[in-house]
Structure 1
Amino acid sequence: MSISAPDRAVGADPTATHRQPKAVWAVAFASVIAFMGIGLVDPILKPIGEQLHASPSQVSLLFTSYMLVTGVAMLITGVVSSRFGAKKTLVAGLSIIIVFAALAGLSDTVTQIVGFRAGWGLGNALFIATALATIVGAASGGVARAIILYEAALGIGIATGPLLGGVLGGISWRGPFFGVSVLMAVALISIVVLLPDGPKPTHHTSIAAPFLALRHRGLLTVSLTALLYNFGFFTLLAYTPFPLDMGTYAIGFIFCGWGVLLALASVFLAPRLQRRFGSLPMMGLSLALFAADLAVMAAFAEHKPVLIVGTVLAGLFLGVNNTLITEAVMISAPVERSTASAAYSFVRFAGGAAAPYLAGKLGEHSIALPFWVGAACTAGAVVVLLAGRAALAHIDEHDPAPHSVAEAEAITVGD
């Protein structure tokens, strides 16, 4: 298969997304399953609290422990993948998730689930950073098309996860955890069968590489921007089911709607807006609209229809921003893509780990306060982005270098 000639990131061949190596589709499919694991748990947050006698802040620790370990573990993803290759790293990550998701389903206390979610976070880190770098490196059609493919996988996974979580959660709160374990086993098989083995990598990444990468102001800017809007994102994800106070099926459908809009905005809306208005203006606008959305949810926190519409509508703003900011990460600093991904994810996950617990704790005193804090932090993200815009002025002028077949295969196996 030939790799397309270099295109501007915003002007790649629109059909290129569909002409991908089998290895890219295997990783994309595994990414769909991995991201299903995020939304799969959402409909059962309230049932877990009720049946295990835990407060909202205690239940929210399921997200905090997961994010904290994911963020810290991002620092070693490059070290692992550069020594063992992408395939072994992806397989290891999926295997860890399979084990700890099943253990979470067998738990009898919230503390146990929180601990096993931490182990889950380790596997998630190994998978996510490696999957993104693999897809970006090996996909045809340029960086933008690869990012769209990855964000589409994210959107599809997040959209379908709550539905399956609602169905399984209607049987038992343990069902979604076992569901994740089974789905990850399917993803593991697809990686083993479809992703080719390759030679052992010869270039080893240093554990200090992500920290050194953050010296580049552009990468630091987008990382801090993501950290701040993650407070709004995880307030929406981890706290909203509590004031909604609805059944697992209803929560599943609501977050399915959110995920559908996120996927559509990522794949179809973001590239068009980027071409017409530029990356930075659209990132700033989408974050500002998300902050306003959270503020409206805060002002009408006791009105469930407003919370439902606000939750679903947030997918539109987050979909546009996620695609543009992920692409910006890949071209914001002159470092390896896997290193940039690890540095970015470390800051946004480890730094934002406090958000779910903070939202749950604040929600125990005021139903609206978590949404106000999320809105304020997201507005802060806009300020950070604007303050660092000079370091990101080049992102819409970047012409991705073409990849040969040999180079694409080398990147695919983590070389």
Structure 2
Amino acid sequence: MTTGTAGADIEAQRHPRGRIARYALVLGGLTAFGPLSVDMYLPALPAMADDLHSSDAQVQLTLAVFLLGLGVGQLVVGPLSDAFGRRTPLLVGVTIFTAASVVAALSPTLPVLIAARAAQAFGAAAGMVIARAAVRDLFSGVAMARFFSTLMLVTGAAPILAPVLGGQLLRWTSWRGIFVALTVFGVTLLVVAASALPETLPKSHRRSAQPRDILGTYVGLLRDRVFVGYAVTIGLAFSVTFAYISGSPFVFQQHYGLSASDYGFVFALNGIGLVLAGQLNGRLVSRFAPRTLLRTGLTLSLTGVVGLVVAAALRAEFPILLLPLFVTVSSVGMITPNATTLALADHPRSAGSASALLGLVQFFTGGAISPLVGLLGGDSALGMTVVMAVAAAAAFTTFAVLTRRPHRHQGKRSDESAQIDHVG
């Protein structure tokens, strides 16, 4: 029996299968806040620009602000959850998300919508950062990597269903109806989280809430070159996806002539690839080290974006663009669970703060990408794919340069970190 299999067996004894399924549904729903809040209204972006008398680039600011708000919100909520436990900050955050969704649905102008999106992002941040921290509380080693892969079943369903749902809603309502749907989702998840998710952080493991101590925790994390390397790798890999998310509504609908509902189905197809890759990763993680699987995912991403740039430069027909796009999006299913596991492995006592930094880097880089895609041409396939390619190359380079720990530091690693790097 391998070390990874033995660790997984221990986790199975601690957490029966039925309980794991419940955790996956609740925590998956919490991590889906971000994808749902972004992907559901993607088909409506061109219509929103017309209705609010704004340009494509101005409407894309609602995406950028939301992503930046997710990053900053996680930075605040993460250490609070380390100090006061996971449940209270979570329930407050979901309540804020729900109230902000109501304001967004009623927004009369673009500035009001942008402000509502910022508040909505802060509430969503609580769900996302605390979900990752709760996984770190509940699982360790290979079991943690496997559970993050399991979450891809739920979180991967969000990008599959959200654009389709958004496109269908636009058939009988305006873009405002999409934010009404998000309000309903917020209320539902608030009830489910309050009733089905226990406190996962014992009082004995909680940290100080003093600003000086919180700052000290963040400084310690930022001094860990390997942690920073994995965080930046996740952020850049996410930027590849978000360049696609922010640019594809205009490229596919205005340049290639897809309808809003057709766009939703194309987006869903790529989401299916992401889910399948995540489930494959869950099966492989007991045989191969997460670092090896992460390298594989980054290689697939880089290969896919090179194909995208070539197809866009040659002005290929839309079906030819779909294959490298499918490979690129699917690679996220291998990148995210392994990079997150490796980043959190050495920081069990500051999982909330570490999760917050992961989220900050992820959504800050994604938010920075959104206006760049618009400036290079909102409906330009080549502009979108070039941004994706640069981000993918930077992600692979960061992983190769920053995440390999020098041999002289191997003895300072936790037993768990050493275990998940040598599975199989």
Are 1:207 and 2:214 an aligned pair?
A: yes
| Alignment partner of 1:340 out of 354, 365, 381 | 354
What CA distance in whole angstroms lies between the structure 2 residues aligned with 1:144 and 1:282?
11
- What is the CA-CA distance between 1:226 and the residue it aligns to? 1.9
Q: Could you tell me whether the CA contact under 8 Å between 1:144 and 1:327 is conserved in 2? A: yes
Worse-matched range after superposition: 320-329 or 206-215: 206-215
How has the CA–CA distance of structure 1 residues 91 and 356 changed in structure 2, closer, same or farther, with 3 Å as cutoff? same
Residue type of the alignment partner of 2:193 = I
How has the CA–CA distance of structure 1 residues 309 and 48 changed in structure 2, closer, same or farther, with 3 Å as cutoff? farther
What CA distance in whole angstroms lies between the structure 1 residues aligned with 2:308 and 2:95?
39
> What residue in structure 1 maps to residue 390 of structure 2?
376
> What residue in structure 1 maps to residue 262 of structure 2?
250
How has the CA–CA distance of structure 1 residues 9 and 287 changed in structure 2, closer, same or farther, with 3 Å as cutoff? farther
> What residue in structure 2 maps to residue 319 of structure 1?
333
Q: RMSD of the TM alignment (CA)?
A: 3.0
Are 1:193 and 2:195 an aligned pair?
A: yes
Are 1:282 and 2:293 an aligned pair?
A: yes
- What is the CA-CA distance between 1:326 and the residue it aligns to? 1.5
> What residue in structure 1 maps to residue 122 of structure 2?
122
What CA distance in whole angstroms lies between the structure 2 residues aligned with 1:368 and 1:175?
32
How has the CA–CA distance of structure 1 residues 396 and 29 changed in structure 2, closer, same or farther, with 3 Å as cutoff? closer
> What residue in structure 2 maps to residue 404 of structure 1?
none
Secondary structure in structure 2 of the residue aligned to 1:53: coil
Q: Could you tell me whether the CA contact under 8 Å between 2:146 and 2:285 is conserved in 1? A: no
Are 1:397 and 2:418 an aligned pair?
A: yes
Identical aligned residues as a percent = 24
Q: Could you tell me whether the CA contact under 8 Å between 1:143 and 1:327 is conserved in 2? A: yes
- What is the CA-CA distance between 1:366 and the residue it aligns to? 4.6
Secondary structure in structure 1 of the residue aligned to 2:8: coil
> What residue in structure 2 maps to residue 411 of structure 1?
none
- What is the CA-CA distance between 1:7 and the residue it aligns to? 6.2
1:301-312 alignment runs, 5 A limit = 301=312, 302=315, 303-312=317-326
Residue type of the alignment partner of 2:319 = P
- What is the CA-CA distance between 1:53 and the residue it aligns to? 3.3
> What residue in structure 2 maps to residue 229 of structure 1?
237
> What residue in structure 1 maps to residue 302 of structure 2?
291
- What is the CA-CA distance between 1:217 and the residue it aligns to? 1.3
- What is the CA-CA distance between 1:273 and the residue it aligns to? 4.1
How has the CA–CA distance of structure 1 residues 81 and 62 changed in structure 2, closer, same or farther, with 3 Å as cutoff? same
Secondary structure in structure 2 of the residue aligned to 1:19: helix
- Once the two structures are superposed, what CA deviation does each residue of 1:151-174 show, in whole Å capped at 9, x if it has no partner? 332112222222211211222211
> What residue in structure 2 maps to residue 300 of structure 1?
311
- What is the CA-CA distance between 1:28 and the residue it aligns to? 2.5
Secondary structure in structure 1 of the residue aligned to 2:223: coil
1:16-55 alignment runs, 5 A limit = 18-20=17-19, 24-25=23-24, 27-28=26-27, 30-31=29-30, 34=33, 35-55=35-55
Q: Could you tell me whether the CA contact under 8 Å between 2:225 and 2:403 is conserved in 1? A: no
- What is the CA-CA distance between 1:26 and the residue it aligns to? 5.8
What CA distance in whole angstroms lies between the structure 1 residues aligned with 2:310 and 2:186?
39
Q: Could you tell me whether the CA contact under 8 Å between 1:75 and 1:210 is conserved in 2? A: no
What CA distance in whole angstroms lies between the structure 2 residues aligned with 1:194 and 1:139?
18
Worse-matched range after superposition: 199-208 or 106-115: 199-208
What CA distance in whole angstroms lies between the structure 2 residues aligned with 1:52 and 1:331?
46
Worse-matched range after superposition: 285-294 or 161-170: 285-294
- What is the CA-CA distance between 1:275 and the residue it aligns to? 4.5
- What is the CA-CA distance between 1:221 and the residue it aligns to? 0.4
Residue type of the alignment partner of 1:264 = L
What CA distance in whole angstroms lies between the structure 1 residues aligned with 2:267 and 2:109?
26
What CA distance in whole angstroms lies between the structure 2 residues aligned with 1:190 and 1:257?
29
What CA distance in whole angstroms lies between the structure 1 residues aligned with 2:284 and 2:89?
35
How has the CA–CA distance of structure 1 residues 370 and 58 changed in structure 2, closer, same or farther, with 3 Å as cutoff? same
| Alignment partner of 1:351 out of 362, 365, 369 | 365
Q: Could you tell me whether the CA contact under 8 Å between 2:40 and 2:166 is conserved in 1? A: yes
Residue type of the alignment partner of 2:166 = G
State how many pairs are aligned. Answer: 394
Q: What is the TM-score when the length of structure 2 is the normalising length?
A: 0.83
Gaps in structure 2 of 5+ consecutive residues: none
- What is the CA-CA distance between 1:364 and the residue it aligns to? 4.2
- What is the CA-CA distance between 1:8 and the residue it aligns to? 2.3
Residue type of the alignment partner of 2:367 = A
Q: Could you tell me whether the CA contact under 8 Å between 2:87 and 2:199 is conserved in 1? A: yes
Q: Could you tell me whether the CA contact under 8 Å between 2:3 and 2:419 is conserved in 1? A: no
Worse-matched range after superposition: 212-221 or 333-342: 333-342
Worse-matched range after superposition: 170-179 or 213-222: 170-179
- Once the two structures are superposed, what CA deviation does each residue of 1:194-233 show, in whole Å capped at 9, x if it has no partner? 2346999453254312332121111110111122223211
What CA distance in whole angstroms lies between the structure 2 residues aligned with 1:244 and 1:82?
43
- Structure whose residues are more often helix by fraction: 2
Residue type of the alignment partner of 1:259 = G
- What is the CA-CA distance between 1:250 and the residue it aligns to? 1.1
- What is the CA-CA distance between 1:381 and the residue it aligns to? 1.0
1:101-250 alignment runs, 5 A limit = 101-138=101-138, 142-171=143-172, 172-196=174-198, 201=203, 203-205=207-209, 206-208=213-215, 209-245=217-253, 246-250=258-262
